[in-house]
A and B are shown apart, each in its own frame.
Chain A
Amino acid sequence: MPRDPDDAARLKALRRDLAPDLARLERRMVLRGGLSLGALTLLSGCDLSTGSNGTLADRVLWAMSRANDRVQQWLFDPATLAPTYPASMIDSPFRFNAFYPPDNIPEIDEATWKLEVSGLVADKAPWTLAKLRALPQESQITRHICIEGWSQIGQWSGVPLRTLLERSGADLTAKFVGFKCADRYYGSLDMPSALHPQTILALDFAGQPLAPEYGYPLRVRVPTKLGFKSPKHIAAIFVTNDYPGGYWEDQGYNWFSGI
């Protein structure tokens, strides 16, 4: 089920309420285990867990991450393309990667699936797979770089996000494009990255319709950003000027995460 903003806010509040208890519990375990460098950071809340209004260290880390967003927005060149590779360099098998094990991959019924479009758009008509397939397609063989450090080369094809935004009459001067997913994941892009020619709504992976583990039926593919900025199983797109955050970003991953 796509997560609506109320749900997200409730979860965030819950996480905030639980944080002191978790920290206390952690502290008890840490003291039992003996003091260490890693423990020291947990003790004093230097791991982003207390939020942007938390301990001094966490406040500084969150503020630095926001400053790094601005630096990266400034560094981002809309005309610079991610390097592309020959088909011979495609990595196989390609990793399954999500915040849940493969058993929890959402099952999606093609017959009833629709991509909702909302927010600052003129035409809010939802898109079916057939309608998306009828749009001009773009194919790419690019490197997927995970925030964990590993990277793999894969082939994705689909509709440029710019095309979909234009066809939906989106306000292209808005700040953000947000995504809601069928697996409770959510995310957002800055508008310049959303309009980058290599940012696509991928329908195919390795020349086949997306397999469930790679985000069936539709995923975002942004080769100018770290992998977690490319949500899978997307169910809704919205255009907004209010910072939408993201599943990992709200926990502390850097929002812009450009590469």
Chain B
Amino acid sequence: MTIVPETPSRLVVIHPLVVRITHWINAVAVFCMLFSGWAIYNASPLFPFAFPKWATLGGWLGGALAWHFAAMWLFAFNGLAYLIYGLLARHFATTFLPLTPGAIWRDARAALRFRLVHRIGRYNAVQRLAYGVAIALGLLLVASGCALWKPVQWQALANLFGGYEWARRVHFAAMAGLGGFILLHLALVAIVPSTLLAMITGRARVTEETVR
């Protein structure tokens, strides 16, 4: 009789507390910004479509703007806390780097052929790129949003986007990009539900070989 050894595994913290707190605050803030933003868009659509009423927040333009201009502080200051933590605690350096074009190409091809193994606690190159892009889109949303909020007081910033009217389009495009990221993000959580629990408890059971 032979004894099959169990794969050694243990619980490790894969999401630090600061990341978990800022993640969930951000989830609420983005939800408010997105759905109130769609209501504001509907008041004067840039493109030949409007967002369905059921997907808007605030009831009317004044209500939607009140939500948008209240939640923007939550989004901005929570994002700032996350960025400061990410830089100072070297969270970005250890979880999102290194990131090379070669690794992105390799992992993207593997992902498209459904051959990319998901390892809890360690991001592949495509994930690293996606999170980097999401952070960049968040920064772009804040910057273009500031240009729309204060195109006179901060006209240098508005000019950077090509003026008020172009800032509207940049703000919309960045929103669409972040919306796309969120859809992908939620789809992947649906495929690997244990990641949802990990973002709440911060802990995940990992086998020894995946622990660096």
In the assembled complex, the Cα of A126 lies from the Cα of B107 at a distance in Å of 76
Residues 230-259 (chain A) with a chain B CB within 8 angstroms:
248, 251-254, 258-259
Interface residues of B toward A: which range? 20 to 34
Interface status of B145 (Cβ within 8 A of chain A): no
0/1 string, B23-46, CB within 8 A of A gives 1 = 000000000000100001101101
Residues 11-43 (chain A) with a chain B CB within 8 angstroms:
36-39, 41-42
Nearest A residue to B53 via CB reads A38
The answer to whether B63 touches A38 (Cβ under 8 A) is: no
The answer to whether A64 touches B69 (Cβ under 8 A) is: yes
What's the least CB distance linking B71 to chain A, in Å? 9
The answer to whether A47 touches B59 (Cβ under 8 A) is: yes
> Which residues of the partner chain A approach B60 to less than 8 Å between Cβ atoms?
47
Nearest B residue to A143 via CB reads B164
> Which residues of the partner chain B approach A42 to less than 8 Å between Cβ atoms?
59
The answer to whether A145 touches B70 (Cβ under 8 A) is: no
What's the least CB distance linking B205 to chain A, in Å? 36
Nearest B residue to A83 via CB reads B155
Nearest B residue to A251 via CB reads B62
Interface status of B119 (Cβ within 8 A of chain A): no
Nearest A residue to B159 via CB reads A83
0/1 string, B120-152, CB within 8 A of A gives 1 = 000000000000000000000000000001111
Interface status of A146 (Cβ within 8 A of chain B): yes
In the assembled complex, the Cα of A259 lies from the Cα of B152 at a distance in Å of 5
The answer to whether B58 touches A47 (Cβ under 8 A) is: yes
Interface status of A201 (Cβ within 8 A of chain B): no
Interface status of B66 (Cβ within 8 A of chain A): yes
Number of chain A residues whose Cβ lies closer than 8 Å to a Cβ of chain B:
40
The answer to whether B63 touches A252 (Cβ under 8 A) is: yes
0/1 string, B54-69, CB within 8 A of A gives 1 = 1111111111011101
The answer to whether A37 touches B69 (Cβ under 8 A) is: no
Whether A48 touches B63, Cβ cut-off 8 Å, given contacts A82-B152, A224-B152, is yes
> Which residues of the partner chain A approach B203 to less than 8 Å between Cβ atoms?
none
> Which residues of the partner chain B approach A128 to less than 8 Å between Cβ atoms?
none
The answer to whether B41 touches A149 (Cβ under 8 A) is: yes
> Which residues of the partner chain A approach B149 to less than 8 Å between Cβ atoms?
259
Interface status of A200 (Cβ within 8 A of chain B): no
Q: Is the interface of B mostly helix, strand, loop or mixed?
A: helix
Nearest A residue to B62 via CB reads A252
Whether A46 touches B70, Cβ cut-off 8 Å, given contacts A80-B152, A259-B153, is no
What's the least CB distance linking A154 to chain B, in Å? 14
> Which residues of the partner chain A approach B168 to less than 8 Å between Cβ atoms?
149
Question: Quick one: which of B63, B165, B168 has the most chain A CB within 10 A?
Answer: B63
The answer to whether B152 touches A41 (Cβ under 8 A) is: no
Interface status of A76 (Cβ within 8 A of chain B): yes
The answer to whether A151 touches B164 (Cβ under 8 A) is: yes
The answer to whether A76 touches B153 (Cβ under 8 A) is: yes
The answer to whether B58 touches A46 (Cβ under 8 A) is: yes
What's the least CB distance linking A209 to chain B, in Å? 27
> Which residues of the partner chain B approach A164 to less than 8 Å between Cβ atoms?
none
Whether A37 touches B35, Cβ cut-off 8 Å, given contacts A75-B150, A145-B151, A259-B150, is yes
Nearest A residue to B39 via CB reads A38
0/1 string, B163-202, CB within 8 A of A gives 1 = 0110010000000000000000000000000000000000
The answer to whether B62 touches A258 (Cβ under 8 A) is: no
Whether A253 touches B41, Cβ cut-off 8 Å, given contacts A61-B67, A61-B70, is no
Listed from nearest, the 8 A-B pairs whose CB atoms lie closest are A47-B59, A36-B54, A47-B63, A252-B62, A64-B70, A148-B44, A148-B43, A149-B44
Which A residues lie at the B interface, using CB under 8 A?
36-39, 41-42, 46-49, 60-62, 64-65, 68, 75-77, 80-83, 143, 145-151, 223-224, 248, 251-254, 258-259
Known pairs A64-B69, A147-B61, A259-B149. 14 more at Cβ < 8 A?
A37-B35, A37-B56, A41-B58, A49-B59, A64-B73, A68-B70, A82-B152, A83-B155, A149-B40, A149-B41, A149-B43, A151-B165, A252-B66, A254-B69
